[in-house]
């Protein structure tokens, strides 16, 4: 018996074996969920199909293209889901794209700012709007955020502003959709070695510092995030909505993160 037996849902954002969305897919499939996965372009399709084949047979009956900034593609995807799944129990949104991830925030151009907000924040609203009518027995929507939405992280710039908007969207969406039994939450992951992460200037130092100074003294991995995602999809979290839960080895609660090795008195 899996925690998610009988649940059907959609995961956006599997790109390769490092993706946080792939960690979520593995945890959710292990717990018995049936998944639809999306990919962005032709090159990603091959990778996503190869990864999906590693999960239990029948765990991923639907793999489809979806650029969340393209309404026509999102509509077509939900039509397919309606035909194949009938209803949706969850949506996992692991989507981000940002520009200007080095230097000062004050120098960020409007174009870089706008595309970051569009892809990293507004796509959650699009995903929720399309999924909600299919969540006829209630549902759970989970997105991925980062502490850079609350605090200043060097080079994170417009990505941080996008995460702030994303977290605010979680609360507004949770309020709109709660009446239909649909919950909306975010997981705030610590720095994790993924393709998107590596696009941030100074990222590997950030990962090392985070792992050395966190209370648990280790970094964040996609399986840690995946298991918390399974909790959010499950009925065990039925009383939680509009919330942000950190999966970051406790780093977020520190007032002055200092690697233990450097403490001399």
Residues serving a catalytic function are: 146, 156
- Contact with ligand NAD (CB under 6 A): which of 3, 9, 10, 19? 19
Is 251 a binding residue for ligand NAD by CB under 6 A? The answer is no
> Is 124:137 a contact under the CB 8 Å cutoff?
no
Judged by beta carbon, residue 97 or residue 105, the one nearer ligand NAD is 97
Is 13 a binding residue for ligand NAD by CB under 6 A? The answer is yes
Coil, strand or helix at 62 = strand
Judged by beta carbon, residue 13 or residue 139, the one nearer ligand NAD is 13
Judged by beta carbon, residue 139 or residue 191, the one nearer ligand NAD is 191
Whole-angstrom Cα distance, residue 248 to residue 214?
Answer: 8
Whole-angstrom Cα distance, residue 84 to residue 93?
Answer: 20
Judged by beta carbon, residue 139 or residue 197, the one nearer ligand NAD is 197
Whole-angstrom CA distances from 186 to 33, 163, 228, 229, 249 are 19, 10, 10, 9, 16
Going by the DSSP 8-state scheme, the letter that residue 73 receives in this structure is H
Whole-angstrom CA distances from 38 to 78, 84, 102, 228, 249 are 11, 15, 29, 21, 29
Whole-angstrom CA distances from 214 to 106, 157, 193, 218 are 29, 23, 16, 7
Binding to ligand NAD (CB under 6 A): which residues in 174-193? 189, 191-192
User: Residues 65-104: x/- map of binding to ligand NAD (CB under 6 A)?
Assistant: -xxxx------------------------xxxx-------
Shortest distance, CB of residue 217 to ligand NAD, whole angstroms?
A: 18
Shortest distance, CB of residue 191 to ligand NAD, whole angstroms?
A: 4
Judged by beta carbon, residue 181 or residue 199, the one nearer ligand NAD is 199
Shortest distance, CB of residue 46 to ligand NAD, whole angstroms?
A: 13
- Contact with ligand NAD (CB under 6 A): which of 52, 115, 144, 177? 144
Residue 256: exposed, middle, or buried by beta-carbon count in 10 A (0-12, 13-18, 19+)? exposed
Whole-angstrom Cα distance, residue 209 to residue 257?
Answer: 9
Judged by beta carbon, residue 144 or residue 182, the one nearer ligand NAD is 144
Q: Catalogue the E-assigned strands of the chain.
A: 8-12, 34-39, 62-65, 90-93, 139-145, 182-189, 244-247
User: Residues 116-135: x/- map of binding to ligand NAD (CB under 6 A)?
Assistant: ---x---x------------
> Is 154:174 a contact under the CB 8 Å cutoff?
no
Strands 90-93 and 244-247: unpaired
Show the tokens assigned to 71.
Answer: 């309404």
Shortest distance, CB of residue 14 to ligand NAD, whole angstroms?
A: 6
Is 196 a binding residue for ligand NAD by CB under 6 A? The answer is yes
- Contact with ligand NAD (CB under 6 A): which of 3, 4, 37, 40? 40
Which residues lie near ligand NAD (CB under 6 A)? 12-15, 18-21, 40, 66-69, 94-97, 119, 123, 144-146, 189, 191-192, 194-197
């Amino acid at each position: 018996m899996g925690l998610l037996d009988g649940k059907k849902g959609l995961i956006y954002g599997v790109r390769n074996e490092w993706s946080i969305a792939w960690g979520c897919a593995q945890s959710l499939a292990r717990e018995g969920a049936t998944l639809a996965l999306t990919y962005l372009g032709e090159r990603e399709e091959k990778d996503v199909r190869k990864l999906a084949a590693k999960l239990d047979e029948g765990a991923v009956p639907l793999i489809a293209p979806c650029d969340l900034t393209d309404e026509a593609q999102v509509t077509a995807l939900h039509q397919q889901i309606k035909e194949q799944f009938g209803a949706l129990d969850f949506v996992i949104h692991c989507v981000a794209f940002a520009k200007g991830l080095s230097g000062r925030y004050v120098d960020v151009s409007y174009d870089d700012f706008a595309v970051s907000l569009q892809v990293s924040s507004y796509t959650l609203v699009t995903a929720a709007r399309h999924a909600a009518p299919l969540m006829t027995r209630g549902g759970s929507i989970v997105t991925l955020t980062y502490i850079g939405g609350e605090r200043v992280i060097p080079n994170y710039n417009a990505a941080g502003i996008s995460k702030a908007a994303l977290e605010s969207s979680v609360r507004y969406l949770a309020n709109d959709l709660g009446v239909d039994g649909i919950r909306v939450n975010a997981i705030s992951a610590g720095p994790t070695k993924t393709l998107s992460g590596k696009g941030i200037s100074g990222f590997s130092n950030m990962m090392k510092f985070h792992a050395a100074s966190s209370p648990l003294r280790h970094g964040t991995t996609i399986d840690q995030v995946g298991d918390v995602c399974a909790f959010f999809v499950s009925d065990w979290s039925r009383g939680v909505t509009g919330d942000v839960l950190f999966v970051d080895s406790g780093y977020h609660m520190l007032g002055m993160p200092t690697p233990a090795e450097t403490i001399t008195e």
